[in-house]
Amino acid sequence: MKRQMLHDLIENAGGCAVTDGGFATQLEKHGASINDPLWSAIYLIKDPHLIKQVHLEYLEAGADILVTSSYQGLSIEEGESLLEKSVKLAVEARDGFWNSAIINPGNKYRRALVAASIGSYGSYLADGSEYSGCYGPDVNLKKLKDFHRRRLQVLVEAGPDLLAFETIPNKLEAQACVELLEEESVKIPSWICFTTVDGENAPSGESFKDCLEALNKSNKVDAVGINCAPPHLMENLICKFKQLTKKAIIVYPNSGEVWDGKAKKWLPSKCFHDDEFGFNATRWRDLGAKIIGGCCRTTPSTIQIISNALREKS
């Protein structure tokens, strides 16, 4: 049963599964230039083989979940075919990798799931508003649902295992996501991740208690959590979410570097090195996180260390 897939994966992983890490970061390591409004999705057009290669590198590192490269900027005008392609490439990478893995009796891998990424409205605007939560007075619930609806339909039709709503900055957009899942009768699991700047509230200043209200009432949302926030905030946030929800908790922080949305560059700050991710991943799991991975500026080596640490201590 599709609805059960995410819970089954978490159980098979010993209570905590691993999602992948930064996509654009890894593309850049291969010499890609990501300075484009489409961000890493530009490589769906320029070099789809490179997209697939990055997915494979995360699978080799021990990721149980691959997130597609459909996060940013893909408006419907730019092509439903690119959204479909983002899912197809991830599924092909997963299937090819798994077919090789299962014939090796010593393999330590689990069959990964493919999560279709749906970035926030702010990520489409590409003005940094996913880190402020301020969409202005003209953006209401209907506008956000209209913005996401066709993208969600195309991604679901492309056949991923689950949906991943990412960097949601306010209560209104979280509610829009939940209502869309209901209205479109989505049958596959989903997670909804907020981001945070202060480690206490959503970027909009709204409390997570308020933001989670609609999510907690919906049986279409299987996991909730935080992505693309600094790793040193995770411990407090997991404890907070544990008190606010019965849903599975997912965290995939960035490296701790801060993205300047206006200047479009990373600013050095309180950074985690890969080894610290290993130590902290076991701590986050022990506090109640059920899915752990990385976001911007993390790499397959980060995920390898997280995966190894969780396997050792599970």
Residues making up the annotated binding site are 228, 295-296
| 78 within 8 A of 45, measured Cβ to Cβ | no
| 44 within 8 A of 85, measured Cβ to Cβ | yes
Q: In terms of Cα–Cα distance, which of 53, 10, 50 is closest to 293?
A: 10
Cα–Cα distance measured from residue 161 to residue 190, given in angstroms and rounded to the nearest whole number: 9
Cα–Cα distance measured from residue 7 to residue 10, given in angstroms and rounded to the nearest whole number: 5
| 57 within 8 A of 66, measured Cβ to Cβ | no
In 190-290, where does DSSP find H-type helix?
208-217, 234-244, 274-287
* Amino acid present at 304: Q
* Amino acid present at 248: A
User: How many residues does this entry show for the chain?
Assistant: 314
226 - beta bridge partners? 194, 251
| 144 within 8 A of 121, measured Cβ to Cβ | yes
Residue ranges of the binding site for Zn(2+): 228, 295-296
Q: Give the single-character DSSP code of 199.
A: S
Cα–Cα distance measured from residue 120 to residue 117, given in angstroms and rounded to the nearest whole number: 10
Cα–Cα distance measured from residue 178 to residue 144, given in angstroms and rounded to the nearest whole number: 11
| 149 within 8 A of 184, measured Cβ to Cβ | yes
Phi, psi torsion values for 193, nearest 5 degrees: -115, 135
Q: Is 178 helix (H, G, I), strand (E, B) or coil?
A: helix
Cα–Cα distance measured from residue 191 to residue 248, given in angstroms and rounded to the nearest whole number: 9
